[in-house]
Structure 1
Amino acid sequence: MNISRKLMLIVILTAAEVSITVYSAFEIAKGAKFHQLNFLHLKYTHQLTKSVKKIENDLPIDINTIESDIVLIRQQPIECIEEINPLNYAVMKFINTEQTLTICEKDIEIADKTLLSVTQYKKGELSRDDFLLNLNVALVSFNKHSEMFEEPIRKTVSFILMTLIPLVIVISFFNIIFISYLSRTISSSIRNLTLLLSSKPESNINLDDELDIKTSGELKALVIAARQRIKNDLLNIENSIELKEIINSQTASLQQANDELAQFAYRASHDLKSPLSGAKSLAHFVIEDIKAGDTEEASRNALVIYQQMEKLETLVVDILLLAKAEIGSEDRDVIDFNQLIIDMKERLTWLMKDNPCTLETTINLSVPIKSEKARFAQIIENLISNGLKYYDRNKDSPYVRCDIFNEQETFFITVTDNGMGIPQKHQGEVFDMFKRFHAQTSTGSGLGMALVKKHIEYLNGEISLQSSDKGTTFKIVIPLDKLI
């Protein structure tokens, strides 16, 4: 199983565990709600009893207070019935406590009859003595139902506690063990690749054989893509009179590529391990919070786990895109840049919402551009999204402008903004992997600009930048003969 599938499985298992845990917490909390409803039922029954005592002592009848107390008594069994969902009913039926619903229904029926007596008394259709008798009969039933209600509810809540808490604990421990296993296999794969790429030439290791044995999935694709490019370059210059110098140069490039891959493997391992370790620890805290009955803290920790998994998913997607950047596709079509911009704006809705930056685009092409649409979509989206994210909050009218045009034999893309700019000392590192220069606003994986450069190099193009505290301009130049 490759790394992306393992990470997706971790996300699914964690989401399932969090869902079950949160649902269990709400079901356990529902038991307290039932006890609260019964307490209120007793409270309002006691208030009605005091009103009846006044009538028995020949005091004037406060008919409005009596009617209000009966309405309040009637409300408790109604809310109880509304709280019971199909799962609760199935549990009650299984443990023979479904009479709870019957008690609530009878309580509502008696309350309705008593309210009818109140109406009849108001109209003079019922005597004082008959009215008092009806009230006493109702009180006896209300008190009896409160006593009968407590035992089946206690039994139901106890059953849910004894069932859901062990279930949550078992699922949580299973998830911790399984996620730890997957995390260990991912780290092992990356560590093996790091050791393989770091091995010295004199160690007599057959890189091709070791690559097939110890590496798979996205990491293997990344290594193969890098090595294939170098092999192709070597074959193209094999008959050159400067073969020796070029071979030496390519050997140095191979060493640099291997060093970059070793660095990539180390940084990817670190960035993958961090959210996994955090999620594992938080899952343990969720278990402890549930044991302690702190469902609010459990929900907060569960949300943090979900955010860690989203971060992990973003990193995996960027690694996949980087691995595929140097693998060509034969599906070359004429690119509709107007539609490409529209599609990009839809994908960046989350970033452009409430963002004060204005986005301006101009397209001026005298010839149709034919290439792989996905490459240009990723190039333009990464550059524009960076401009939107790192706008300067201290400047009036922040903007990002993208111009797409051609002149003679050259195709151009320029993206300009008046944002925070890139510090001078870091401008040489812009296209390196895992580099971020504005930590307070950076949310990405640090692979976006490296991906842009890979695409442009694949198209035999060049990218340059100019940046200061007044803003940044990226300029892309691609030979037109690669795009027609």
Structure 2
Amino acid sequence: MNISKKLLLIVVLTCLEVSITVFSAFEIAKGAQFHQLNFLHLKYINQLDKAVDKILPNTQINLAAIEANILAIRQQPMNCLKAANALNKLVMNIIDTRHALTLCKQDVKRANTTLQSVNDYKNDKINRAEFLFILNHALDEFNDNSEQFEGPITKTVSFIFVTFIPLVIVISIFNVIYISYLSRTISSSIRNLTTLLSSKSNKTDLEDNFSKSTPDELKELISAAKKRIENDLLNIESSKELKAIVSSQTDSLQLANDELAQFAYRASHDLKAPLSAVKSLSRFIVKDIESNDTAEAISNAKTITKQMEKLESLVVDILQLAKADIGNEETSPINFEQLIVDVKERLYWLMQDIPCQLEIHINLEVEIISDKVRFTQIIENLVSNGLKYYDKNKVSPLVKLDISNNENSIIIVVTDNGIGIPKPFQAQVYGMFKRFNPELCSGSGLGLSIVKKHVEYFKGEITFQSSEQGTIFKIIIALDKL
């Protein structure tokens, strides 16, 4: 199982854990609500009992007070029946406590019958003795039902505690163990790969060890670098050129090794940070559950979900960077209007929360046949950066995308009037894991690296100008390189 699928499993388990925790909390709270309603039920039964006891022979009966007490008695079982949803009924059927709802229905029915007897007495349809008999009979039934109601409700709440809370604890413990294992696996894989590339093993041993011990994602990254070097070596025609290229490739290889070491360190750090946070939060959730602090447990579980989403986004960006150097023979005509629609849908979560406007201008006189995925990632990363780093102090924040062509090239220009890239960092703008304004927006710091890789794949040119007035990125790619 590769890294992204392992992380997805953690997200699924965490969501399951949060769902069970929230369900248990609501069910326990509902049990407390049912107990409270039964307490009120007993209170109003007692009031009706006192009102009946005060009725003396040959005295007028206070029918208004008796009717008000009966209405109050009827309200509690009605509220219980209303609060019980389909899931509650299913649980009650499983543990044989459904008769609690039957008692509520009996109380409602008895209350309605008693209210009818009040009306009958008012209209002289029944005499005083019959009316008092009905009241006393109703009181006996109300009291009996109220006493029987406590048992099944207590049993239901106990079932929630005994069944679901241990299940949450088991899932939490498994999650912590699995997260710890995954963290060690990722860190170990990156360290082993760095050691393997730095070793002096022969080619056969190096390839065997590389195939056996390297995860698929890192294999793609190294394979892309290897393929590029092999293609360059095949074009060597003379010993003089060979020496020059060997010297150049040596420097490039050293730079690639340095870049890989930096990548390994930063990727390990950025992957480990959320995993460590999730590990700590999982312990807190266990403690919160043990101390019955459900609200804090839910808050920590939500934080774990956010950390996993951040981790999943980072892995996706790493995969995109790894694949940026890998050739794709699948080319097709690109509909840029539809491409922009797709990009807008993916950036909807970002655009809906900011006042920044996005203007699109497409003026192409030729059909572009190329790799749609690469153009999508180029445009999406540049546009999303412009949206993320808009200037809140400007009246009309704007990001503008222009796509056009001349006789030889396709030209993509992304202009914004945002906060700009600070001058001290402009030389590092295409570096991996570079985040120049982390306080404004979180991200992997790989977006512009991915754009640069794709432009280099097409042997194109990317330039930018940035100041406090905004930033302009311009990409020029020859039509015959598509």
Is the structural similarity TM-score above 0.5? yes
Query: Any gaps of 5 or more consecutive residues in structure 1?
Result: none
Percent pairwise identity: 61
Residue aligning to 1:303: 302
Q: Is the 8 A contact 2:48 2:66 kept in 1?
A: yes
1:336-355 matches, cutoff 5 A = 336-355=335-354
Residue aligning to 2:108: 108
Aligned residues: 482
Amino acid at match of 1:69: N
Q: Is the 8 A contact 2:285 2:300 kept in 1?
A: yes
Amino acid at match of 1:251: T
Matched, 1:185 2:185: yes
Amino acid at match of 2:66: I
Deviations 1:395-414 (A, max 9, x none): 11111111111223222111
Question: Offset at 1:456?
Answer: 0.3
Amino acid at match of 1:297: E
Tell me how far apart the structure 2 counterparts of residues 479 and 89 of structure 1 sit (CA, whole Å).
68
Query: Any gaps of 5 or more consecutive residues in structure 2?
Result: none
Residue aligning to 1:195: 195
Q: Is the 8 A contact 2:390 2:417 kept in 1?
A: yes
Q: Relative to structure 1, is the Cα distance of residues 56 and 450 closer, same or farther in structure 2, using a 3 angstrom cutoff?
A: farther
Residue aligning to 1:15: 15
Residue aligning to 1:268: 267
Q: Is the 8 A contact 1:234 1:250 kept in 2?
A: no
Tell me how far apart the structure 2 counterparts of residues 59 and 303 of structure 1 sit (CA, whole Å).
65
Tell me how far apart the structure 1 counterparts of residues 27 and 428 of structure 2 sit (CA, whole Å).
53
Matched, 1:324 2:323: yes
The DSSP-based 3-state class of the residue aligned with 2:394 is: coil
Question: Offset at 1:130?
Answer: 3.1
Q: Is the 8 A contact 1:55 1:132 kept in 2?
A: no
Residue aligning to 2:75: 75
Matched, 1:380 2:379: yes
Q: Relative to structure 1, is the Cα distance of residues 165 and 253 closer, same or farther in structure 2, using a 3 angstrom cutoff?
A: same
Deviations 1:209-239 (A, max 9, x none): 3311221210111111012112211222343
Q: Is the 8 A contact 1:193 1:262 kept in 2?
A: no
Matched, 1:214 2:203: no
The DSSP-based 3-state class of the residue aligned with 1:7 is: helix
The DSSP-based 3-state class of the residue aligned with 2:435 is: coil
Residue aligning to 2:143: 143
The DSSP-based 3-state class of the residue aligned with 2:420 is: coil
1:75-94 matches, cutoff 5 A = 75-85=75-85, 88-89=88-89, 92=92
Tell me how far apart the structure 2 counterparts of residues 65 and 264 of structure 1 sit (CA, whole Å).
80
Question: Offset at 1:165?
Answer: 2.5
- Comparing 19-28 with 59-68, greater Cα deviation is found at 59-68
1:398-477 matches, cutoff 5 A = 398-477=397-476
TM-score by length of structure 1 reads 0.93
Deviations 1:226-262 (A, max 9, x none): 1211221122234363321221111110111121112
Q: Relative to structure 1, is the Cα distance of residues 110 and 409 closer, same or farther in structure 2, using a 3 angstrom cutoff?
A: same
Amino acid at match of 1:477: I
Residue aligning to 1:40: 40
Q: Is the 8 A contact 1:356 1:398 kept in 2?
A: yes
Question: Offset at 1:85?
Answer: 4.9
Q: Is the 8 A contact 1:25 1:290 kept in 2?
A: no
The DSSP-based 3-state class of the residue aligned with 2:329 is: coil
Residue aligning to 1:279: 278
TM-score by length of structure 2 reads 0.93
Q: Relative to structure 1, is the Cα distance of residues 212 and 397 closer, same or farther in structure 2, using a 3 angstrom cutoff?
A: same
Q: Is the 8 A contact 1:419 1:469 kept in 2?
A: yes
Q: Relative to structure 1, is the Cα distance of residues 99 and 353 closer, same or farther in structure 2, using a 3 angstrom cutoff?
A: closer
Residue aligning to 1:29: 29
Q: Relative to structure 1, is the Cα distance of residues 464 and 7 closer, same or farther in structure 2, using a 3 angstrom cutoff?
A: same
Instruction: Give the aligned CA root-mean-square deviation in angstroms.
Output: 2.3
Residue aligning to 1:480: 479
The DSSP-based 3-state class of the residue aligned with 1:20 is: helix
Tell me how far apart the structure 1 counterparts of residues 59 and 351 of structure 2 sit (CA, whole Å).
71
Q: Is the 8 A contact 1:413 1:475 kept in 2?
A: yes
1:134-173 matches, cutoff 5 A = 134-173=134-173
The DSSP-based 3-state class of the residue aligned with 1:388 is: helix
Deviations 1:399-451 (A, max 9, x none): 11111112232221111100000000001111111111111222221111110
